[in-house]
Structure 1
Amino acid sequence: MQPSAANVQVLIVEDDPDIGKLLAMTMRENGMTPTIAEDGHVMQSLLRSNTFDLIILDVMLPGEDGLTLCRKIRAEKTIPIILLTALGEEVDRIVGLEVGADDYVTKPFSPREVVARVRSLLRRASYGLVSTTGHRRLRFDGWQIDPMRRQLHDPTNARVALTTTEFDLLLAFCRNPGRVITREELLSLTHSGLAGPIERSVDVHISRLRQKIESDPREPLLLQTVRLGGYTFTASVEEV
């Protein structure tokens, strides 16, 4: 059963007090519980002592910047991360995705837009609404993916951490093995179009996914690029 919004804990990492207060007020008005950290040191302390459902992380912070902090968080946790940035160039957004962010919001932002992105990401992360059908575990090449628990295990049964978007992409491929899927279709299947839609963002997430499931990510065998088409998942997939 889906928990109520009041149970959603959002960590806002923002050094501008006005922006931090605006985001916190927006979260409260939508029934969520916000906590503000003004820098990475406070953020890391809060993460050690509390459990959060999502992080809104400003890129331009004193001390360690948001990209560095995002990379550190992602090395240990699968918690959804939305980057907050004044950097509007596509290359800056792509760098954010490369270090493990699930989405981003550019300043100046609309509070309604932030809420929409938070809700979309929480639905995907917590409740697995990539598809309305099919909750059985799937096996491919010795790997197992569990749609209900949103977990991936390698052939040795070790759990492999995936970001929300990486999991959604892999699940979409496992449910469509052998079929060429365009970038536009992947954005639709994974509900990740909020981040643009920027087709290159799909390429970034797939590159990260290959690092985790391919023996040699530079010569991928499972997840192959189709020139002028998109991607295809070559593994045989069965329900277990």
Structure 2
Amino acid sequence: MVDSSTVFVVDDDDSIRDLLASYLKKNGYNVIAANSGESFLQEFQEWRSAGEDESRVIVVLDIMMPGMDGFDVCRELRTFSKAPVIMLTAVSDEMDRIIGLEMGADDYLGKPFNPRELLARIKAIFRRSEQVAEPKTSGRYAVFNGFCLDKVTRELVSPDGEPVPLTGADYNLLMLFIRNQGKVLSRESIAEVTRKRNSAPMDRFIDVNVSRLRQCLGENARAPELIKTVRGQGYILTTEVEWVDKVPA
């Protein structure tokens, strides 16, 4: 396989970091390894400043690190980048996974893990990014309830004209709702598209992602108006969506 994509591997464990770097390089990825959150953030900023394509990058980020842990790094990264993040967690730490998703991580993988599974998840995230990058619509901007979403830059502007920070996962989920406006999306269908896995009966992660998106849209958690819960079925985007070529005045 030949791939121009870049994977940042951030882990203070030398053996794990070297193993993943070697494995991913053999599978055609450009790999940049960092042994701490601080060094990663510096290297990532330098990488961006060099004009690299941020739409083809993924960060594999360990949670348990000295100094800045994975949560701190993810929080800082989200202040200036939407790069997808796969967090490495202890198998039993479900709360760590939920916190990571709430902070903007796109996926998680419990340790110990098979490098092949990590590779599969990396490929899945790149596929999802490609699928939502160019929706089958006429017009560059999706306008709904006063919001304006630019499908080229992936930037969302509020009815007040203020930019709304979106992670890659937020954008993908919002685009999924927009492309299925007026249709009820089950948790299973959302999981299939956004996470490429079936949703377990008590899986809270889809609900967490929807909750995050509602917050981005300024929704009242107890009485959401845009993305409504359909009891026993899933979620639905109820507002009308219009695609236009120019930013509304």
TM-score range, shorter chain: 0.7 to 0.9
2:90 pairs with 66, 86, 92, which one? 86
Deviation at 1:183, TM superposition (A): 0.7
Tell me, in whole angstroms, the C-alpha distance in 1 between the residues paired with 2:181 and 2:160. 22
1:8 pairs with 5, 9, 13, which one? 5
Match of 2:28 in 1: 31
TM-score by length of 1: 0.87
Task: Check if 1:193 corresponds to 2:193.
Answer: no
Deviation at 1:63, TM superposition (A): 1.4
Deviation at 1:132, TM superposition (A): 6.8
SS in 2 for 1:119: helix
Q: Give aligned-pair identity as a percent.
A: 37
Match of 2:101 in 1: 97
1:116 pairs with 120, 123, 126, which one? 120
Give the length in aligned residue pairs: 233
Deviation at 1:228, TM superposition (A): 1.9
Could you tell me which runs of 5 or more consecutive residues in structure 1 were left unpaired when the two chains were aligned: none
Match of 2:66 in 1: 62
Tell me, in whole angstroms, the C-alpha distance in 2 between the residues paired with 1:74 and 1:106. 22
Distance 1:200-1:9 versus aligned 2 partners, 3 A rule: same
Asked whether the equivalents of residues 135 and 148 of structure 1 are also in contact (C-alpha less than 8 Å), the reply is no
The RMSD of aligned alpha carbons is 2.2
Match of 2:45 in 1: 48
Could you tell me which runs of 5 or more consecutive residues in structure 2 were left unpaired when the two chains were aligned: 49-53, 245-249
Asked whether the equivalents of residues 128 and 147 of structure 1 are also in contact (C-alpha less than 8 Å), the reply is no
TM-score by length of 2: 0.84
Distance 1:128-1:162 versus aligned 2 partners, 3 A rule: farther
Tell me, in whole angstroms, the C-alpha distance in 1 between the residues paired with 2:106 and 2:115. 18
SS in 1 for 2:184: coil
Task: Check if 1:173 corresponds to 2:170.
Answer: no
Question: Could you give the per-residue CA deviations for residues 68-122 of structure 1, whole angstroms, max 9, x where no partner exists?
Answer: 2112212321011000122434333212111110001111111111111111112
Give the counterpart letter for 1:224 in structure 2: K
Deviation at 1:123, TM superposition (A): 2.8
Tell me, in whole angstroms, the C-alpha distance in 1 between the residues paired with 2:240 and 2:132. 23
Task: Check if 1:205 corresponds to 2:209.
Answer: yes
